[in-house]
Structure 1
Amino acid sequence: MSHLEPPSLAKKSRRPLQHYYRAAVIIAVCGMFSYGGYSMFHLYQNAKISQIKAQKLSAQALALSASLSEETAMNQDLNQALADKNKSLVALNQRIDDMETVLGIEPADDSQTITQRVDTAAINSAVRATLFQLIPNGAPTPNVQLTSGFGTRIHPITKKRKRHDGLDFAAKIGTPIYAPADAVIERARNSNYGYGNQLTLNHTMGFTSTYSHMSKFKVKQGEFVKKGQLIGWTGNSGLSTGPHLHYEIRFLGKPLNPRPFVKWNIENFDSLFKQEKNVQWASLLNTINSMVAMQVQLTGDEHHDLGITTVNHTQSTTNQDDF
């Protein structure tokens, strides 16, 4: 007969195995929970880090967007400023063109900069202003009628044919007389004969002007006067048939017809050079041009061109009507 193990012993032998299985299962479950918890914690940490990074990126994106908006606004302002500058440049070019036309300057070539064109126009303007300041121009007694011109005539007193070297203005006694250009008083002579009380003004570049039959002087010999300054008053002194001013202009002692000088102004600038042939205007203009260009050079850019032709005195000009 076979030997059988008692039931109680079999039950006792199975209990340790069940304990082992339970422990293993518990351990496995705990391990799985622990691993799962660790994994979840790790995922949470990663999610948190990703969220922080996303917030930083969002903040950077906002900053970049704000910077881009600011740069866009700046670009718009710069484009508007550039458009305004271009508009001003076009207007400036037009004004320079107009100025060159008025001054009789040859049209500028493409090689000339705006600065050079402005300098040329400035020199031309300065040359003209200088000429009007230094050379007699305009009437010494404004708004007074001219009664006798330059040339040969019958003398109103001697009744003999005689050369008349000036102009006579029918001015009442006490009419103001003004210097037609800067000058120094060369002579102030009182006399009851001939030309009577007479002033002689020594201008620059060889020009002089004389005022006769005056009643009173405002200046004295050796005094410097400016254009437009009061120098005396008209009268009826000396050999005269009535109150008037006898006005003469001379160049190197030679009498010139004062009429073109009296009518000379900015609007008919070239007319004097055509009508008066006894003055070497080209040489005089070159001298004045050099003086003015040097002044512009000293007060501005050191690269100014001193060889600029400032006056085109060969340009045709409509002759002005005589008095």
Structure 2
Amino acid sequence: MPHLEPSVSPSSTKPSRPRQHYYRTVIILAVCGLLSYGGYSMFHLYQNAKISQIKAQKLSAQALALSASLSEETAMNQDLNQALAAKKKSLIALNQRINDMETVLGIEPPADNQTITQRVDTAAINSAVRATLFQLIPNGAPTPNVQLTSGFGTRVHPITKKRKRHDGLDFAAKIGTPVYAPADAVIERARSSNYGYGNQLTLNHTMGFISTYSHLSKFKVKQGEFVKKGQLIGWTGNSGLSTGPHLHYEIRFLGKPLNPRPFVKWNIENFDALFKQEKNVQWASLLNTINSMVAMQVQLTGDENHDLGITTASHTEPSPN
């Protein structure tokens, strides 16, 4: 008996055309959606990358600026460190110089709380005190580089042959040798004479000191004239009672003759020696007076509120006599 194929209807083997169109539309929309989402995502990533790049550029610029600033500050710090090292070196040198000055001036070691400014003020005042004393009180030889032939004290007079007190020093100076003022003074007397001390000058210094110059040939100054230390006042000679050309030099304090030799030898290197050798002057009182004068001048020229806190020039106690 013959085999019969089952019959199939067309609608059961092929989907309908509307359904195919629907699937196709869904697929197209899905693809478009994916493409749109992908494009948006890529655009968003691009924007973020762009912003990140801009931020990175800004950070890089800031980093460069900070690096340059750091380099500049490092250079400045190096310069400051070098300047500080130089200042420290200068301070050490200054301290050493002040120490040397204090040693030369005989200033006692400074207190721990004393500043450099106070130490400098102290040294300045001591230096000024010494300069003032050397300016006002006779010191050095009135005829430099001339031999001393007769000293201070009792001797046999070369003419009368009798023992007599010699109240000065004799310098064997040739006629016409210049004579200079050993300190500031006023010419108290310029006396011309052919007897005794011959032509004689009397200089009135400060603080009670007087000096005289005898047997001169002529005067350079006149009575009442003010002269400065080192100023030419006359020339040596052989006038009056004299065995030969020389200068007779005397120093008196309140009218009392002093040995001029310590005054002739007095200088900055042996500043305290005169105070120890010459006991007829109340050096402590004199130095206190000069110290006060100089300290006031320093204070007036400096800060009026500045406390000096100083210890000034050393001095000896006054003689009980």
Give the conservation status (yes or no) of the 8 Å contact 2:151–2:169. yes
* Shift of residue 67, structure 1, vs aligned partner: 1.0
* Shift of residue 109, structure 1, vs aligned partner: 1.8
SS of match in other structure, 1:99 = helix
Give the conservation status (yes or no) of the 8 Å contact 1:290–1:306. no
Q: Deviations over 1:56-86 (max 9, x none)?
A: 1011111111111111121122112112211
Gaps of 5+ in 1: none
Q: Deviations over 1:218-248 (max 9, x none)?
A: 1111111111111110011111111111101
The total of aligned residue pairs comes to 318
CA-atom RMSD in angstroms: 3.8
Partner of 1:12: 15
Partner of 2:89: 87
Partners of 2:207 and 2:63 in 1: how far apart? Answer: 77
SS of match in other structure, 1:318 = coil
Partner of 2:192: 190
Partners of 1:242 and 1:230 in 2: how far apart? Answer: 22
- Structure-2 change in CA distance of 1:254 and 1:307 (3 Å): farther
* Shift of residue 11, structure 1, vs aligned partner: 6.5
Give the conservation status (yes or no) of the 8 Å contact 2:129–2:290. yes
Partners of 2:236 and 2:2 in 1: how far apart? Answer: 177
Partner of 2:304: 302
SS of match in other structure, 2:15 = helix
SS of match in other structure, 1:12 = coil
- Structure-2 change in CA distance of 1:35 and 1:157 (3 Å): same
* Shift of residue 45, structure 1, vs aligned partner: 0.5
Give the conservation status (yes or no) of the 8 Å contact 1:195–1:238. yes
Q: Deviations over 1:39-68 (max 9, x none)?
A: 101110100000110111011111111111
SS of match in other structure, 2:239 = coil
TM-score normalised to structure 2 length: 0.92
Give the conservation status (yes or no) of the 8 Å contact 2:199–2:240. yes
- Structure-2 change in CA distance of 1:115 and 1:125 (3 Å): same
Partners of 1:126 and 1:279 in 2: how far apart? Answer: 21
* Shift of residue 113, structure 1, vs aligned partner: 0.7
Give the conservation status (yes or no) of the 8 Å contact 2:121–2:310. no
Calculate percent identity across the aligned residue pairs.
90
* Shift of residue 96, structure 1, vs aligned partner: 1.1
4+ long deviations beyond 4 Å? 1-6, 8-13, 303-307, 314-319
Partners of 1:157 and 1:185 in 2: how far apart? Answer: 30
* Shift of residue 151, structure 1, vs aligned partner: 1.2
* Shift of residue 102, structure 1, vs aligned partner: 0.9
- Structure-2 change in CA distance of 1:291 and 1:10 (3 Å): same
